[in-house]
Amino acid sequence: MTQQKIKEILNDEDVFNQWGQVNRASMFHISTKHSPVLIGSILDLFDYDCQLARELYVVFRGLYIREQYDIITGILCLMYFAFQTDLPFIIEAIFQSENDDVKDVYFREFLDDFENTVFDFTDDEF
């Protein structure tokens, strides 16, 4: 996918606001729409062992803090493949985007969704 095609997809999904900045509300919507399938598959793999899920969260969070977006992308792509789950077109565009702000906001939303989902299955906080 070319960067021009990626920009078109991101624009079609309102990823950017009128000033060209990442639209956090749109990214929230994208993550909320697409993350539950992957997060559910992760929890299924771990037999809903929230301690394991927390440990994976810590790994993702550490990579996110260090802005290791390519590593997070690689891990998530492998998970989509391993779980035989289709990689949504918009998520693929985000992953292939050269815009680190897009990835930063998406991964922050994904991590929030991950944390909130696992929190739903446990009484303990992260």
The structural domain count of the chain equals 1
Q: Report the distance separating Cα 101 and Cα 45, nearest Å.
A: 31
Is 64 within the bounds of a domain?
A: yes
Tens digit of each residue's pLDDT (9 = 90 or more) over 63-88: 999 999 999 999 999 999 999 999 99
Tens digit of each residue's pLDDT (9 = 90 or more) over 28-53: 999 999 999 999 999 999 998 888 99
Is 19 within the bounds of a domain?
A: no
Q: What percent of the chain has pLDDT over 70?
A: 95
Is 97 within the bounds of a domain?
A: yes
Is 29 within the bounds of a domain?
A: yes
Is 101 within the bounds of a domain?
A: yes
Count the alpha carbons within 13 Å of 87 in the hemisphere toward its beta carbon: 16
Q: Report the distance separating Cα 43 and Cα 60, nearest Å.
A: 15
**Beta-carbon count within 10 A of 115 CB:** 18
CB 15 within 8 A of CB 102: yes
**3-state secondary structure (DSSP) of residue 106:** helix
Is 125 within the bounds of a domain?
A: no
Question: Which domain range does residue 64 map to?
Answer: 3-11+24-120
Q: Which residue has the tokens 């299924």?
A: 44
Q: Report the distance separating Cα 58 and Cα 65, nearest Å.
A: 10
The model carries a pTM of 0.89
Residue 16 bridge partners (DSSP): 22
CB 82 within 8 A of CB 74: no
Is 126 within the bounds of a domain?
A: no
Report the residue count for the chain. 126
**3-state secondary structure (DSSP) of residue 117:** helix
Count the alpha carbons within 13 Å of 126 in the hemisphere toward its beta carbon: 19
How is residue 6 written in tokens? 């990626």
Is 30 within the bounds of a domain?
A: yes
